[in-house]
Amino acid sequence: MKTIHLNSSLVSVEWLNENIETSNIIVLDATINKVIDASAIRLPKTRFFDIKKKFSDLDAPFPSTLPSKEQFQNEARVLGINTDSILIVYDDKGIYSSARAWWLFKVFGFENVAVLDGGLPEWQLKGFEVENYTDETYFKGNFVAQQNLELMTDFTGINEVSSSSDTLILDARSKARFECLVDEPRAGLRRGTIPNSKNMPYTELFDGNIMKTKRELLTIFNNLVEGKTKLVFSCGSGITACILALAASICNYKNLMIYDGSWTEYGTLT
């Protein structure tokens, strides 16, 4: 078996095209609300990572809420994921919900996972092979989840850190939403921001489909972090906050956390 050690949270489409035949690489399509039928396309070796229906707590009052350790482990095993798997996650927007899937694996103790930089759009732009989805089942994997609760926080936790002098809350929503200039897309949800948070729109982290260079990302972060030792990321419902966590990871920031309920929860409960 070819040995591969992921040394980054991000891999290029060129890297994946070169290494995709490695036996223990599993490619995961984490596109949200994707319709899987005969017309749907995917990268070779792709399995569908259904964030909304399989990897979220369906009984939670807010969308895309962290599932239980047992649910995550079982669904990962159904996808044939093993303890020695190498996971490459993508979505059909470039980098969007794939970052959420990447973060979920880290929350549940799995480190050998990376996001495909530019996702399906960049893969197709470079002319690499795609195929149609077909019905598939997989040999049950032996993935073992070990939950790291320090990577996620809730309503109680966000209220604690919002008044902490060593913590910075970064909000991934657009400037217009952060500054309450437009309505929230979720019906009935009030406009607003978490106290003492700053705005880092996730869209500003990209150069086309792909993530900006580490040097460019560091410039963006350095203008906001100002010596804080802990970074907490929020957004509308916990999806794009993970893009900020991905960028921070690329920049070697430590002590990172996602506010799982994000503004949907905070705006509802305050």
Which residues does the annotation mark as catalytic? Answer: 235
**Chain centre distance of CA 23:** 24
Look at strands 41-42 and 46-48 and give their pairing.
unpaired
The three-class DSSP label of residue 90 is: strand
* Residue 169 β-bridge partners: 197, 232
Q: How far apart are CA 195 and CA 214, in angstroms?
A: 29
* Residue 89 β-bridge partners: 28, 115
Q: Is residue 162 within 8 Å of residue 121, measured between CB atoms?
A: no
What letter would DSSP give residue 48? Answer: E
* Residue 28 β-bridge partners: 47, 89
Q: Is residue 193 within 8 Å of residue 173, measured between CB atoms?
A: no
Q: How far apart are CA 148 and CA 137, in angstroms?
A: 29
